[in-house]
């Protein structure tokens, strides 16, 4: 892949997990600049605000230099176009992801045929991992330190503890 590519990694990242971070690190080795773009989605009630998620992602990726963290509203392809990005990165964990991801890639292609989606296969050890799984464990007081960065595990504990 030519190194001068600008790419967007869009998502909810509520919160970012080691699975996302693996995709980010591997993408950053392939592109010139990657923007991790948090969708401001009015149809979802997130656990963490967009500002909190941006801060979490920024802290977890401070060792990566060709990376920006941002938020966006509206269509991903429009945001990508504004950023001069030609590539959307998405991770694929299992066949179950594939149908939805392929539909999204096809939809995005009809909206802007100049923007390509590139899928990266999630590393084996993260194939079960999602933000929802992390929240489901944390909600019942389970350990999530092996799934998310330490600060996020702590934030989950305080946000989801029974007193709150």
Binding positions for ligand PNS, rule: CB under 6 A: 10-12, 39, 75-76, 104, 107-108
Give 107 or 161: the residue with its C-beta nearer to ligand PNS: 107
* C-alpha distance from residue 42 to each of 10, 55, 90, 136 (Å): 16, 20, 21, 22
* Shortest distance, position 118 Cβ to ligand PNS, whole Å: 13
Q: What is the rounded distance in angstroms from the CA atom of residue 17 to the CA atom of residue 57?
A: 9
Q: Which stretches within the chain are classed as H helix?
A: 18-28, 50-60, 76-83, 95-111, 131-139, 150-160
* Shortest distance, position 161 Cβ to ligand PNS, whole Å: 25
Give 10 or 149: the residue with its C-beta nearer to ligand PNS: 10
**Where are any strands of DSSP class E within the chain?**
6-11, 33-39, 67-72, 87-92, 116-121
* Shortest distance, position 54 Cβ to ligand PNS, whole Å: 14
User: Is 44 assigned a catalytic role?
Assistant: yes
Q: In this chain, which residue has its C-beta nearest to ligand PNS?
A: 11
Closest CA to 56 of 157, 152, 142: 152
User: Is 65 assigned a catalytic role?
Assistant: no
User: Is 132 assigned a catalytic role?
Assistant: no
* Shortest distance, position 39 Cβ to ligand PNS, whole Å: 4
Give 2 or 21: the residue with its C-beta nearer to ligand PNS: 21
User: Is 71 assigned a catalytic role?
Assistant: no
- Which of these is catalytic: 12, 27, 53, 93? 93
Closest CA to 5 of 91, 139, 131, 114: 114
> Among all residues, which ones are annotated catalytic?
20, 44, 93, 131
């Amino acid at each position: 892949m030519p190194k001068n590519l600008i790419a967007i990694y869009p998502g909810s990242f509520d919160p970012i997990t080691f699975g996302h971070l693996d995709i980010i690190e591997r993408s950053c080795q392939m592109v010139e600049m990657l923007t991790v773009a948090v969708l401001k989605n009015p149809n979802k009630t997130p656990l963490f605000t967009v500002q909190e998620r941006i801060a979490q992602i920024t802290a977890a990726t401070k060792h990566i230099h060709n990376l920006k963290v941002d938020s966006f509203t509206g269509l991903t392809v429009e945001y990508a176009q504004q950023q001069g990005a030609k590539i959307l990165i998405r991770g694929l964990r299992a066949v179950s992801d594939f149908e939805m991801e392929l539909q999204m890639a096809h939809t995005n292609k009809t909206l802007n045929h100049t923007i390509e989606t590139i899928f990266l296969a999630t590393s084996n050890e993260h194939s079960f991992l999602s933000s929802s799984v992390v929240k489901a464990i944390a909600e019942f007081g389970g350990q999530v330190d092996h799934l998310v960065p330490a600060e996020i595990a702590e934030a989950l504990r305080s946000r989801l503890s029974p007193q709150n």
